[in-house]
Structure 1
Amino acid sequence: MAYQSEYTLLEQVIQMLATKEDSKFSKVIEKVVNEAMKLERAKTLQAEPYERTEDRMGYANGFKNKTLALATGKVLLKIPQVRGLEFYPSCIEKGIRSERALKLAIAEMYVKGVSTRRVSDIVEILCGTEVSSSQVSRLAKELDEEATSWRSSPVGQIQYLVLDATYESVRVGSKVVKQSLLMAIGVDYEGKRQILGTEVANSEAEVNWRSFLEGLVRRGLHGLTMITSDDHAGLRAAIDAVFPGILWQRCQFHLQQNARGYVTRKDDVPAVAAEIRKVFNAPDEQNAERYLQSLVEKYEKTQPRLAQWADENLREGLSVFHIPENHRRKLRTSNLAERQMKEIKRRTKVVGVFPNADSLLRLAAAMLIEQNDQWQNEKRYLPESNDRPAFKEIYRKKVA
């Protein structure tokens, strides 16, 4: 991809970031700018801290704190001081920081997955100095610590859990392989949504999903009443193992899409889709069962594969009838998670192939942290409900 195309995309990212308040973004800016200023001081002095060299031009003399109130929040800058020559970091104007340049640098790092070579180029553009791979690695480590802290933070009481995964190209040794990015979103009992975590795994096998879900439990997840996801053997097995007896809602959208593969006549697709929607949109479970039985009987002679598939699978999309009515529309599909995955894919498409799994995780975590912080300042996702069914008496129906 040409640089001009990348730059146009980055401009769009910058405009998006500039319209949203985000304290987490301010912390990332703070880390990047402070590191960049230290690198520039070392370049100016022609010596690293405590390094003895005949080429040294002066001496480091501590730091001077400066707080800037930016659109993204307060940023504490530690401006490097120098003894023996005049110095002021070029990546900030004296008294005013170039916020646009910093946003461009951060946005490009997010888009590019923060590879060592790319960050070297960015810091050089930002500060006008070249940096070593070890220096860039140190900066990446600081950014990773922010993501690690978020991914290990306490979870607490969660009423609903929405799970999803996507695949990205990652370089492993001399090969490029597909690795899975797992994600969990929770909705608490106050109706507020939050992104609980993300993880890169080799696949969606049970062992990987199980490890991910057990990690959420160790972080304090409890109070769960229903899980929504697409149908995947590894995920289903992991849910059974970690959350036995919890309601499982199979994504109705994916069920609707899957049904097309069992319709033998193309002209029948709209009619079948309408009948499945009638099942899902029923006022209660009893009517949904009645509509489903009618659908099965209608097609059992003309399209027996469709009738059998519907009888064995569509009931897995009816668990949502056991939660409060005014919660059903937003929990009957996994769209809440898929919208976040779609946004991640929009960024990862620019990267193409990630240099390693850490790079993919860094990008995904950074984006999800930003989204999670935004959600915390928004109104509740689900309305309050007085309908509190006896969840402990409800068990997900297992299909043999």
Structure 2
Amino acid sequence: MANEKKSVYKCKPLTDGKREIIQKLLQEYDIRDAGGLQEALRDLLGGTIKSMMEAEMDNYLGYEKSQRSDSDNARNGHKVKRVRSSLGEMEIEVPQDRNSEFEPQVVKKRQKDISEIDQKIISMYAKGMTTRQISDTLMDIYGFEASEGFISDVTDKLLPQIEEWQNRPLESVYPVLFIDAIHYSVRDNGVIRKLAAYVILGITCDGRKEVVSINIGENESSKYWLGVLNELKNRGVQDVLVICADGLTGVKDAISVAFPKTEYQRCLVHQIRNTLKYVADKDRKEFANDLKDIYNAPKESLGAEIRDRVAEKWNAKYPHAMKSWYTNWDALTPLYKFSENVRKLIYTTNTIESLNSSYRRLNRQRSVFPSDQALLKALYLATLEATRKWTLPIRNWGAIYGEFCIMFEGRLPE
């Protein structure tokens, strides 16, 4: 379970600029106690929101307050509105237009609670925007300056939530787990390093997808993967029927120790890609069709015969292309035990590809992450965005589950 300790905000060192702001605040509001400070901050928030909505009105009408215009619409004073905020209830002034067509976005019509303004910033962060891009967007749209430090502080509020998510209890049995890796550039003490985000996606006993964990690491090894799998066991996982992964260093040995009854299925899509990288473009389509015959064979012995024929056909031209099919054969063949429905599920990590597309979008929007913590926050938010759509079981799950119950007798709830 997650640590139940409440996170405590630690005040950052006072700079000269902060001291000057505090002095002006004390002078302007004559603050004498905590209640006075709360009142002052509430007043400042209301003034800031008013300025942001005035900027929205300028943008809507196409001219600023001090300018003239031939438009038939114009400003028409303000309306007082009572809202709830993180600082308590407060009144704000909402600018009006003569035609009553202005739709403010900072505080929308009929919106009574603005305590989620932080969520707007977090939402932009979730879409892959950097703190600089978020700051610029707030300035462009609202004329409101939010420092990169402020935005970072807002997103840091996620850290206790992420820690709780990373340590949440898991299902006792997963029919299938997929493991995949995506690489990112991360700055560490001025040096840019390549780090991998290792994502584990589970299929639950009711056929639904669940992101089980996200780990950021540098070097793969049996020891590393054993630690990751033992962490899953410590969170309640007792059994996994099949684990599908690419050729991650050490993962096969770690699986045999942590879950000795689990089938390890190497991803055939990655296997085929690695094979075809040795092949000239003109031969690639024909070679790929030959490889397809291997994994579509009805049983392992026939698959091995086809493998040998493919190797014999192409070895003179591409002597190294088929080598890994012999080296990895034991990890490529578990799928032969199953029907087409199960094969489609486990022969590739495509089940995780839609999730990976969300993660790769982060790479396109950020060439370098300022820290591994910033990367973790972005991955967590991207995960929340992607998994909102996961409302239904995977296709043909009833038939797949029934087959698993027979093949792995006594290991699944019936």
TM-score (norm 1): 0.69
Please give the secondary structure, in 2, of the residue aligned with 1:213.
helix
- 1:97/1:347 CA distance change after superposition, 3 Å: farther
> Which residue is equivalent to 1:162?
178
> Which residue is equivalent to 1:80?
87
The question of 1:331 aligning with 2:304 is answered: no
Shift of residue 232 of structure 1?
2.4
Shift of residue 289 of structure 1?
3.0
- Listed as ranges, the matches of 1:130-279 within 5 Å are 130=145, 136-156=151-171, 157-263=173-279, 267-279=282-294
Gaps of 5+ in 1: 1-42, 64-75, 394-400
Percent of counterpart pairs with the same letter?
21
- Listed as ranges, the matches of 1:382-393 within 5 Å are 382-385=396-399, 386-387=402-403, 388-391=405-408
Please give the secondary structure, in 1, of the residue aligned with 2:342.
helix
> Which residue is equivalent to 1:16?
none
**Take 2:109 and 2:22, find their aligned partners in 1: how far apart are those partners?**
24
> Which residue is equivalent to 2:9?
none
Please say if residues 112 and 350 of structure 1, whose CA atoms lie closer than 8 Å, have aligned partners that are also in contact: yes
Higher relative contact order (CA 8 A, sep 6+): 1
Please give the secondary structure, in 2, of the residue aligned with 1:333.
coil
Shift of residue 384 of structure 1?
1.2
1:363 counterpart (378, 384, 408): 378
Q: Which amino acid aligns with 1:80?
A: L
Shift of residue 381 of structure 1?
4.3
Please give the secondary structure, in 2, of the residue aligned with 1:147.
helix
TM-score (norm 2): 0.67
Query: What value does the CA root-mean-square deviation take over the aligned residues?
Result: 3.9
Shift of residue 202 of structure 1?
2.1
Please give the secondary structure, in 1, of the residue aligned with 2:182.
strand
Shift of residue 354 of structure 1?
0.7
Shift of residue 261 of structure 1?
4.4
Which whole-Å deviations, capped at 9, do the CAs of 1:145-164 have from their partners, x for residues lacking one?
Answer: 23222222221121101000
Q: Which amino acid aligns with 1:380?
A: I
**Take 2:306 and 2:395, find their aligned partners in 1: how far apart are those partners?**
30
Please say if residues 209 and 238 of structure 1, whose CA atoms lie closer than 8 Å, have aligned partners that are also in contact: yes
> Which residue is equivalent to 1:294?
309
**Take 1:292 and 1:195, find their aligned partners in 2: how far apart are those partners?**
35
Q: Which moved more, 1:253-262 or 1:177-186?
A: 253-262
- 1:305/1:356 CA distance change after superposition, 3 Å: closer
> Which residue is equivalent to 2:27?
54
Q: Which amino acid aligns with 2:255?
A: I
**Take 1:98 and 1:352, find their aligned partners in 2: how far apart are those partners?**
36
Q: Which moved more, 1:180-189 or 1:340-349?
A: 340-349
Which whole-Å deviations, capped at 9, do the CAs of 1:216-241 have from their partners, x for residues lacking one?
Answer: 22211233111111112233343334
Please say if residues 206 and 235 of structure 1, whose CA atoms lie closer than 8 Å, have aligned partners that are also in contact: yes
Shift of residue 102 of structure 1?
8.3
- 1:206/1:289 CA distance change after superposition, 3 Å: same
- 1:129/1:392 CA distance change after superposition, 3 Å: same
Q: How many residues align?
A: 330
Which whole-Å deviations, capped at 9, do the CAs of 1:16-66 have from their partners, x for residues lacking one?
Answer: xxxxxxxxxxxxxxxxxxxxxxxxxxx9xx769xx9822227733599xxx
Q: Which moved more, 1:288-297 or 1:151-160?
A: 288-297
Which whole-Å deviations, capped at 9, do the CAs of 1:118-146 have from their partners, x for residues lacking one?
Answer: 66556667876555677545422322223
